[in-house]
Amino acid sequence: MDFIKKLKEFNKQINDLESGLYLGEKRYREIYELNQKLEAEIEQRTKDLETANRQMLTLQHILDMMTSSKPLSGVLNAIVNSLQKELGYLHSCIIRMVKENDKQLIEITAHSDDDFSSEFETIVQTPIYESKIKYIKNDGIDEYIKANMAYSTNNLGECFHKFFPDINLQLQNQLFAKAGALSCILIPLTVDREHYGSLLVLSKREETTDAELNFLKMFARQIELAITISNLFQAVKSQAISDALTGLYNRRYFEESIKKETIRANRQNQKFSVIGLDLDYLKQINDKYGHNYGDIAIKTIAEVLKKNARSIDVPARIGGEEFNIILPGIDSEGAMAAAERIRKAIENQNIPIIGKITASLGVATFFEQTDDVDELLELTDHAMYQSKHDGRNRVTLAKPTKDISWQEVAFNTFIDILSKHRVPLESEISDNISKKLETIGINNDGLYTISDTMIKLYNPNYTPGITKSKVLLANSLAKRFDMPKDRIDNLKIAILLYDIGNILLPKQILQKKAPLTDEEKNTIKSHPIIAAREILEPISGMNVILPIIENHHENWDGTGYPNEVSGNKIPIESQMILLIDAYFALQEPRSYRKAVDKEEAIEIIKTGSGTKWNPKLVEEFISIIETEEF
């Protein structure tokens, strides 16, 4: 009995053990299966994370490119290459529909550099990436584009045949099979609320997941943003370098371009030329027909320049009715021919209401007339004003600087002041002075007459003929100090112009009989700055004259204006003008004092020697006026 009982207990233990082993095996199997599932999920999550990471890096790459200074074509090509390489697509490109002669065409704006693209062109023997292809209407694709929806298909041959109908369908299918392409995806691109084109990708995967489509849509938005940024950049860049009225380059761009051209010319020892052009009689057009027609005339000249310019030329509107054109690699003979062609083209224009217009042109060539760029522009201006003086509607070749007289510089300056309205003169007065300039010619007496006429505008007590005496006296004084000819010539020009800033001052102050207030005195003291910086600085050839005029009211002891400099820091030409001006002004009546005679004027000057005037200058000055008739 004990044996049987023990046997039953042993049997029960065996059953319990078997049951435990079975449960353990089941539990182990469950744990094993769970681990396998977790490992698969971890592997998938890792792949998803890697994909997301690549996507993020790709988007960051796009952002970096968008904020770079690359042109749009370079940015788009970099974007599609990034998409193809980093996300494992066979091929990526951006296609656009364009219209030419009422035909709907396809062009590939950007494409990835991969085996598929090179193989495609080899097989079809067509440079699809360099040409435009006729597009056959595809209702299915067109509907997706109109709805701005992504389009995906596994029927690659049929899809591509719609875009490339002239390419053999069998060849296309062979290429897709060889490359392992199983699907293509097309994402429409919209810029400024208008359809721009589409992003097209070829994939090795047959199915396109929702996550993949969402990413490609996000990617497409980045492409749209890149295009928008590029368009804005180009618009801002265009505004920065272009003249708003004409669309030509502006003065700033011209100045930058001529600096670069000078560097290139010096490096390659190659000539280049500049044509200066000025519309004739713009003021009369504005006065007779209104400023709108003046703008039409200016825009007409701009269109002529655009049509006659080579791709490397730089036609620019410098301001008002003035234009300049840089002609790289062209000598004076070629530039004269180009200028004459432009002149004739302008003359042949017939503008409604206005009729015919003309222009005066000047030409100067780097390495022929000068090897200094600033001087080149001055010579161009001088030649242009010579054309005006000679009757307008003609072309003049510039003379070398050494051959240009001080009289020509002064004459051209007066022409510029009047034609550019740099001082506010009534039309009748301006026209009368301009006519005088045209009739008197470039000679000393004519220039003295014009200067006297200008001075009379702000000083009714001025005695005609004194300008000539001032120039002759300055010439004699300068020779006493062994001043070289070029500086004497600059002094003569400065004497004709030094007080021109007074034209811009209120007459009630200039002709006031009562003592001036401090504010009125400060206004008077501004005229050298006005003359130098506001009127004369924009005029070619005036750069060496400006310091003379700006400092012509500086006293020897530093009590003058506007800069309160003293002694030899004051240009000697300015010291001479101050002394000569005082001598003649003392002998003229003023609203606040009577005129003095010659002897009294000399005594006053002697009294101011060492304070107001340079003692050595006073000494030589008195020696001259006591021995010569002034």
Residues belonging to the active site: 321
Contact 501, 424 (CB under 8 A): no
Vertex 463: Cα angle to 458 and 464 (nearest 5): 95
Residues in the chain: 630
Long-range contacts of 285-288 (CB under 8 A, 24+ apart): 285/354, 285/357, 287/427
CA contacts within 13 A on the Cβ side of 521: 7
- Residue 184 DSSP code: E
Record the tokens describing residue 446, joined without a space: 């004519």
Please state, in angstroms and rounded to a whole number, the distance separating the CA atoms of residues 456 and 461.
7
Tokens 């699907």, residue? 183
Please state, in angstroms and rounded to a whole number, the distance separating the CA atoms of residues 115 and 113.
7
Record the tokens describing residue 440, joined without a space: 């008197």
Neighbours of 615 (CB within 10 A): 12
Please state, in angstroms and rounded to a whole number, the distance separating the CA atoms of residues 483 and 477.
9
Which phi and psi angles does 364 have, rounded to 5°? -140, 145
7 CB-near residues (< 8 Å, 6+ apart): none
Residue 406 three-state SS: helix
CA contacts within 13 A on the Cβ side of 174: 10
CA contacts within 13 A on the Cβ side of 256: 8
Record the tokens describing residue 70, joined without a space: 């690359």
Closest CA to 274 of 361, 379, 367, 363: 363
Neighbours of 421 (CB within 10 A): 13
Record the tokens describing residue 32, joined without a space: 């094993």
Identity of residue 154? N
Residue 369 three-state SS: coil
Please state, in angstroms and rounded to a whole number, the distance separating the CA atoms of residues 501 and 532.
8
Record the tokens describing residue 478, joined without a space: 């300068």
Please state, in angstroms and rounded to a whole number, the distance separating the CA atoms of residues 447 and 413.
11
Residue 359 three-state SS: strand
Residue 252 three-state SS: helix
404 CB-near residues (< 8 Å, 6+ apart): 379, 382
Long-range contacts of 250-258 (CB under 8 A, 24+ apart): 250/316, 250/317, 251/316, 251/317, 251/318, 251/319, 253/314, 253/316, 254/314, 254/316, 254/318, 254/324, 254/326, 257/314, 257/316, 257/326, 258/314, 258/326, 258/373, 258/377
Q: What is the crossing angle of helices 485-497 and 444-458, to 10°?
A: 40
